[in-house]
Amino acid sequence: MVLSCDDQRVLLEPKVFDVLTYFCQHHNRYISMTELHENIWQGRCVSDAAVRRIISKIRILMNDDHKNPTYIQSLPKRGYKLICPVEYDIEDAAESSSVESTAVAITDLSDHNEANNYNEPTEPEEHQDLAEELAGNFVHVVKKPKKFKYTFLSLLMLCICVFGYLAKSWFFPAIVQTQVVNTLPGDKIAVTQSADGSYLAFSGQVHDESGFQIYVKHQSDFDFRPITHHAHLPSSIAFSFDNKSLYFSDTSKINSSLNQIKLDGENREIEILVDNYFLISDVFTARTSNNVFFAAKKSTEGPFLIYEYDVVNKAVTAITASSQAESLDIKGDVSFDGSKLAVLRTNRLSHSDEIRVIDLKTKEVVIRRQHPARVYDVAWGDNNNLLILSRGQLLKINIATSEETLQFANGVKLASLDSIKNRIVSINLGLKEKLFIEKKLPFGELETKRVLKKDIYQMNYFGDKILALLKNHDVTQLGFLDLEADRFDSVIATEYNLAVLDVAPLQGKILVRINRRIALLDPSNIDLQYISSGDDLIGDATFSADNLSILFSTQNYEQWDVNIFNIAKKTTEPFLRDIRYIRPYGESFIIGDSKGELSFFSPSINKKIALNHALSKEPNTQWLVRGDYIYWSSHDLVNTTFHQLNISNLNQPELEVQQFIYNEVKPEFAIDLNNLNFLMSKSESVTSEIVEIPFR
């Protein structure tokens, strides 16, 4: 099932195809969620969230913005409506007497595309034959007439072939022996090899005092040698085509940079090529030129795109584009002949991953493929085959035939891919055992009270109970942990992202975030009440001092505003403007602006006092107020820092910090309501290894 739009072919999942076809057939009216359940799923027990995910995938395929839709419009309590013009291709049906064909044309709106600087891609020459068969902007639903000439023997042979194919995968999975590459011990975060295989390099922390540095080994060398000494976090590395340079991204707490270091001389000074990016997640090079490609986000609110750095002209050009802020191009690789770019695009809203292939000459997308499982990296095995690193397995996919071959599957946790002819290198992260450490306050001492060895993702205090999040593959469970009985009692389970934001144990309420929405959960009767909509971008959320209301901030254009939700009345009203962070402090508040700058604010006397400290804006950090103390966490991907600010004297607040290694201690923490105990998690360090996987 293929969607064609201006010669761009997209393979559709069956349910995506069914829903899109149903929208086309009923394009003149709103279609309710109930109607979709009855007509598409036909009585199967499927959640509304699953239906919404299918619609989100259609929007992604069409680059449709749900806030300013061009194709699919949603209306609360009404449903969804296809709002673009629809035409029927009658000629196509008449041309074939043996096939009943219904073709629906979804007319593109050129004005919309011009406004978004978006040009629909076309097919390269190698795909012209297939493009001609599927030409036009059509979604084809093909129904073949019944034919009774199939004999029982033919059906039997077909079943045998299908069974044989499945049995090969089920009972005789591909067995590929990985080989551990002898390197230096320690945590490794990136690995690469030169195009001719003569060099191998990795970045990692070999010694605690050296931080994360880059180590290189030529095939004639006995061991790896460091080539950097003052890098911060070189999270991605790549050799130049001629082996004379190594490029790497370096990320600090302030920004990310693209750097170059020469390998053919004694003076190995680092040259900064590109600076002041918010984050650079991937660096890779072409095998036919010395140009450098990198996946990056220029600013906190900007898109995540693939860029090309011209080494000769020292210029940066964006290769990819996106009209949706939720779509992130985080990984990429250039084919062996330098003609194609493979891109991993992930959508943080629908949690779907898409593999795109771009013609580097025309800069047009020629292939788009939705992947059903989480994808960690993508690389070329050769000019015709892509390697996709998914959960616990490595797939090879032929881009011309879409044939899949399982290269490797044994549950090993691999982190990245780098391939040359007949050789793939990756990092085996190993297994890290998670501990929860409860420490006794005061903050300056943090004396260890007890160590909890639990396979739990996150813990929080809920009065005298322990609230826990348990993650198992794609399902997250929230429940209570009985430490004495060593039992976990689940309250709710979801396949969406789930996080605990705040608790009100006396009222028996939990404030949670499910995907992008905040909700109030009553664990006694499993009652879930949503407070925000899916369109709201939430900055912060907490209970009020009396636990009768919810304070939460939303973004309106470039401004953050705080709203107050009355739990009993179920009403929301505006509260404070130009504020992103808020916590109750008695009858007053501790607030933070869009930059995280903290202040004391008393609404009764309209008094504001700057505290001269700022919160971290990293997404996995948190903050809270207990008594006269403000606690928050921060990190720079190397170190995790916990902060305690004593505000008993608002004019002279006193700061104390505790610092840990980021790979061992993450920024999540919890403090009980009595301000007596501090709970944090720690991973026991396990040495990661570089492994070599043969390419079949």
Q: Specify the pLDDT at position 208.
A: 61
Least confident range of 186-195, 465-474, 517-526, 541-550: 465-474
List the helix and strand counts (H, then E) for the chain: 7, 55
* CB proximity list for 131: less than 8 A, separation 6 or greater: 7, 9, 123
Choice among 102-106, 433-437, 515-519, 636-640 with the minimum mean pLDDT: 102-106
Model confidence pLDDT, tens digit, residues 189-248:
899 999 888 999 999 888 665 678 999 999 888 889 899 988 888 999 999 999 999 999
Q: Identify the band that residue 186 occupies on the pLDDT scale cut at 50, 70 and 90.
A: confident
Q: Are the C-beta atoms of 299 and 278 separated by less than 8 Å?
A: yes
Tens-place pLDDT, residues 578-624:
999 999 999 999 999 999 999 999 999 889 999 999 999 887 889 99
Structure confidence at residue 420 (pLDDT): 87
Task: Reduce the DSSP state of residue 50 to 3 states and report it.
Answer: helix
Do the beta carbons of residue 137 and residue 12 sit within 8 Å? no
Q: Stretch 494-505: mean pLDDT, rounded?
A: 88
Average pLDDT, the chain: 81
Structural contact between residues 495 and 462, judged by C-beta atoms closer than 8 angstroms:
no
Q: By the 8 A CB rule, do 626 and 673 touch?
A: yes
Highest mean pLDDT among 44-58, 269-283, 317-331: 269-283
Q: Is the pLDDT of residue 9 over 50?
A: yes
pLDDT (0 to 100) of residue 696: 67
Helix (H, G, I), strand (E, B) or coil at 192: strand
Please check the confidence at residue 167 and state whether its pLDDT lies above 50: no
pLDDT at 95: 42
Q: Is the pLDDT of residue 52 over 80?
A: yes
* Contact partners, residue 577, CB within 8 Å, separation at least 6: 559, 561, 562
- Identify whether the C-beta of residue 59 lies closer than 8 Å to the C-beta of residue 66: yes
Q: Taking the mean position of all CA atoms in its chain, how far away is CA 177?
A: 30
pLDDT of residue 157: 55
pLDDT score at 373: 80
Q: Which pLDDT value is given to residue 431?
A: 64
pLDDT at 445 over 80: no
Helix (H) or strand (E) run with residue 472 in it: strand 465-472
pLDDT at 105: 39
Element (DSSP H or E) covering residue 160: helix 152-170
Residue 5: what pLDDT? 58
Burial 664-693 (b: 16+ CB within 10 A, else e): ebbbbbbbbeebeebbbbbeebeebbbbeb
Q: How far is CA 334 from the centre of its chain?
A: 22
pLDDT over 70 percentage in the chain: 82
Chain segment 337-364, per-residue pLDDT in tens: 999 999 999 987 667 889 999 999 999 9
Query: Can you give the pLDDT at residue 104?
Result: 38
The answer to whether domain 183-431+687-694 has CATH 3.30.360.10 is: no
- pLDDT score of 92: 45
Same fold, 2-143 and 434-683: no
Token code pair at residue 223: 């061991």
Residues 6 or more apart whose Cβ sits within 8 Å of residue 189: 203, 204, 212, 233, 234, 235, 415, 427
Q: Span 560-569, mean pLDDT?
A: 95
- What's the rounded Cα separation, in Å, for the pair 575 and 306? 40
How much is the pLDDT for 410? 62
pLDDT of residue 141: 31
| Model confidence at 103: pLDDT above 50 | no
Q: What pLDDT score was predicted for residue 140?
A: 33
pTM of the model: 0.64
Distance between CA atoms of residues 15 and 27, nearest Å? 18
How far is the CA of 526 from the CAs of 269, 446, 517, 520, in angstroms? 60, 36, 17, 10
117, pLDDT greater than 80: no
Non-local CB neighbours of 550 within 8 Å, separated by 6+ positions = 511, 518, 520, 531, 541, 542, 543, 544, 564, 565, 567
Given a cut of 60, whether residue 122 has pLDDT beyond it is: no
CATH number for domain 434-683, candidates 3.20.20.70, 3.40.50.360, 3.40.50.620, 2.130.10.10: 2.130.10.10
Question: What's the CA gap between 213 and 364, in Å, rounded?
Answer: 37
Predicted confidence (pLDDT) at residue 175 exceeds the cutoff of 60 = no
User: What pLDDT is recorded for position 282?
Assistant: 95
- Give Cα separations from 443 to 440, 460, 652 (angstroms): 8, 18, 18
Helix axis angle for 48-61 and 14-25, nearest 10°, is 80
**pLDDT over threshold 70, residue 128:** no
Query: What DSSP assignment string belongs to 386-397?
Result: EEEEETTEEEEE
Q: Residue 45: what pLDDT?
A: 66
Domain 2-143 classified CATH 1.10.10.10?
yes
Which pLDDT band, with edges at 50, 70 and 90, does 686 fall under? low
Q: Is the pLDDT of residue 660 over 60?
A: yes
Q: Where are the domains of the chain?
A: 2-143, 183-431+687-694, 434-683
Whether 160 has a pLDDT exceeding 60, the answer reads no
